[in-house]
Amino acid sequence: MRLLAILLLLLLPFGMARAQSDIHRCVGASGGVIFTDRACSDLNASPAVPAPTVSASASDAPTSIAQPPPVLCASDMTQLKQAVVDAFADRNPNRLAGLMLWEGSGREAVVANIREFTRMMAHPLVGVRASEYTSTAPPSSSTSTGTDPSVLSMSATPSPSPPQGDSLSVETESDDGSGATQETHFGVVRHDGCLWLEPPY
C-alpha cells in the first residue's frame, strides 16, 4: 500500500504537466480569450499568439543622438574647431572650458568666462573660423645686420602660435534678436603637443 502511494506521488507531476500542456489558449469569434482542453478549431476559434515581448533596454533607449566624446587634446586646428562646434551642439560650457588653457587665470576669472560661455551658447552658432597668423612685431636689429635666422630662433623664446592660425573666431547670433551676429575671439596656443584656446579677448 505504501509502495502504491509512492508511485502515485511520482506520477502526479507528469499528469499535471500533461494536463497543463493540453490546455489551449484560443480567441473566439467575439474576440474574447478562451482556455480549453479541446482544439481551438472545435470551438470555431483560432489559437492566440502571444504578443512579442519588448526588452526594457530597447523600450527605454533614448531617441536622441549621443554627442561625440570630448576632445582632450586637439592635434591640429581642424580638430580644435570641431571640438568647439561639438561643445556648442551639446550646449555644454564646461566642454568648451575643457579646451581652454587656464594657466595664470584666477578662480574668479575662470568662473566669469564659463558664465560668458553659457550666455554665448544660449544663441545659435553661426560659424567658427581660424585667423591666419600675422606678425606685427617690428624687425629686430639683429635681422637687419644679417644675423642668421636659425641662431635667432634658438636664442629667442619660440612663438606658441600654431602653424595654421593663432586665433579662433566664434560667431553667434546677437542678443537683440535682429539677426545680426557677434564674434568672440580666442587665442590659440600649442602646449604639450596640443592646441588650446586662451580666454576670449
Q: 94 lies in a domain?
A: yes
Q: 173 lies in a domain?
A: yes
Q: Print the SS3 string covering 31-91.
A: CCEEEECCCHHHHCCEECCCCCCCCHHHHCCCCCCCCCCCCCCECCHHHHHHHHHHHHHCC
With beta carbons less than 8 A apart as the criterion, state whether 93 and 118 touch. yes
Q: 29 lies in a domain?
A: no
With beta carbons less than 8 A apart as the criterion, state whether 191 and 160 touch. yes
Q: pLDDT tens across 127-151, in order?
A: 999 975 444 444 444 344 444 443 3
Q: How many separate domains does the chain show?
A: 1
Q: 62 lies in a domain?
A: no
Tell me the CATH number at 123.
3.10.450
Q: pLDDT tens across 51-73, in order?
A: 445 554 544 555 555 667 877 88
Q: 53 lies in a domain?
A: no
Please count the residues of the chain.
Answer: 201
Q: What is the pTM of this model?
A: 0.52
Q: Confidence class of residue 33 from pLDDT cuts 50, 70 and 90?
A: confident
Q: 196 lies in a domain?
A: yes
How many CB atoms are closer than 10 A to CB 89?
14
CA–CA separation, 124 vs 181, rounded Å? 10
Q: 65 lies in a domain?
A: no
Structural domain for 81, as ranges? 77-132+159-200
24 backbone dihedrals φ, ψ, rounded to 5°: -110, 145
Q: 1 lies in a domain?
A: no
Q: Confidence class of residue 23 from pLDDT cuts 50, 70 and 90?
A: confident
CA–CA separation, 152 vs 159, rounded Å? 12
